[in-house]
Amino acid sequence: MKRALWLILVFAFMLPNAAYAANDITVTIDSVPVAFEMPPQIINDRVMVQIRAIVERLGCTVEWDDATQTSYINQPGVPLSRTAVKGQDINVYVNNQPVEFPDQKPVLYHDYVLIPSRGVIEALGYSVEWNDTTQTQAISTITGLATPPSTIPVKPDVTASPTPKPVTPVITATPTPMPKTSDGYIGNLNTHVFHYPDCSSVQRMSEKNKVYLPNRETAINDGYVPCQICKP
Ligand SMILES: [Zn+2]
């Protein structure tokens, strides 16, 4: 009985920390988990992450300006411009543009800036998906995989090409179709007569005399005359 009471007291003591409970939250970038010094926390029902660990994996630089309580996140090639002023909240700038946090503000948590990451990730041009079942925040650098491209902010202020940048889906060029034998006409280089490809004369023509003519106009312009048998 005493033991049971002791356990209840222990759990009661732990309850105030529940709001900051560290669940097993995983953040992945293109399916590869991010290693955090400070694990993601649930604060006021929001997943709050150590943004530095994420954006450094994305190739960004992070500068903390203590005077203005600002975290400057810049993609490669974007020169840092310290324009923030100190406010009531922690500022987060992405490529020198302030990120808005309408719900849960960034917090300092054991000397780590923890923020709801979506605003930053989307400002960087990437998409985020939360999987409640696996408690995983999946960041994709592949445009359009998780979020329709139209929702990804366009950043005209980014002059240099950042690495990594969203991977543009490779559209394989459709090769120019080879002319089908049923299309166009076959001219005879020797006789300057042109035929439908299935004309019997074509079957007898030597390969070196065959010339492909895409249409009748080309044939006539090139000085070919229609065959009297197949009448092309
Ligand atoms: Zn013919």
Helix (H) or strand (E) holding 211: strand 210-213
For residues 109 and 89, give the distance between their C-alpha atoms in angstroms, rounded to a whole number.
13
Which of 131, 151, 171 represents a domain boundary (last residue)?
A: 151
Give the Å distance between the CA of 161 and the centre of ligand 1: 59
161-165 long-range CB contacts below 8 Å, 24 or more apart?
161/77, 162/59, 162/75, 162/76, 162/77, 162/78, 163/59, 163/76, 164/58, 164/59, 165/125, 165/141
**Tokens 């007291």 correspond to what residue?**
9
Residue 136: predicted pLDDT: 93
Give the Å distance between the CA of 228 and the centre of ligand 1: 6
**Tokens 């293109």 correspond to what residue?**
30
Query: At 185, which amino acid appears?
Result: Y
Tokens of 26: 């995983």
3-class SS at 66? coil
Give the Å distance between the CA of 229 and the centre of ligand 1: 5
- What does the longest C-alpha to C-alpha distance in the chain come to? 113
Residue 122 and residue 141 in contact, taking contact as beta carbons nearer than 8 Å:
no
Distances (CA, A) of 54 to 19, 29, 46, 101, 146: 23, 8, 17, 18, 17
Identify whether 85 is part of a domain.
yes
Identify whether 170 is part of a domain.
no
Q: Which residues pair with 137 in a beta bridge?
A: 27, 130
Residue 110 and residue 88 in contact, taking contact as beta carbons nearer than 8 Å:
no
Give the Å distance between the CA of 175 and the centre of ligand 1: 30
Identify whether 163 is part of a domain.
no
Residue 159: predicted pLDDT: 46
Identify whether 161 is part of a domain.
no
Q: What is the 3-state secondary structure (H, E, C) of 75-138?
A: CCCCCCCCCCCCCCCCEEEECCEECCCCCCCCEEECCEEEECCHHHHHHCCCEEEEECCCCEEE
Give the Å distance between the CA of 206 and the centre of ligand 1: 14
Residue 99: predicted pLDDT: 93
Give the Å distance between the CA of 177 and the centre of ligand 1: 25
Identify whether 173 is part of a domain.
no
State how many domains the chain has.
2
Residue 157: predicted pLDDT: 45
For residues 179 and 184, give the distance between their C-alpha atoms in angstroms, rounded to a whole number.
8
Give the Å distance between the CA of 216 and the centre of ligand 1: 13
Give the Å distance between the CA of 222 and the centre of ligand 1: 17
Give the Å distance between the CA of 179 and the centre of ligand 1: 19
Residue 28 and residue 139 in one domain: yes
Q: What is the 3-state secondary structure (H, E, C) of 171-198?
A: CCCCCCCCCCCCCCEEEECCCCEEECCC
Give the Å distance between the CA of 208 and the centre of ligand 1: 17
Residue 194 burial (10 A CB sphere; 0-12, 13-18, 19+): buried
Give the Å distance between the CA of 194 and the centre of ligand 1: 7
Residue 24 and residue 133 in one domain: yes
pLDDT digits (tens, 9 = 90+) for 203-222: 888 999 999 999 999 999 99
Identify whether 200 is part of a domain.
yes
Identify whether 129 is part of a domain.
yes
- Conformational region of residue 125, where left means phi above 0, alpha means psi within -120 to 50, and beta covers everything else: left
Closest CA to 97 of 77, 81, 112: 81
Residue 62 and residue 131 in one domain: yes
Q: Which domain holds residue 192?
A: 185-226
Tens of pLDDT along the chain (232 residues)?
A: 455 555 555 554 554 444 444 458 999 999 999 999 999 998 888 889 999 999 999 999 999 999 999 999 999 989 999 989 998 899 999 999 999 998 899 999 888 999 998 889 999 999 999 998 999 999 998 854 444 434 444 444 444 445 555 555 555 544 444 444 457 999 999 999 999 999 998 988 899 999 999 999 999 999 999 999 899 9
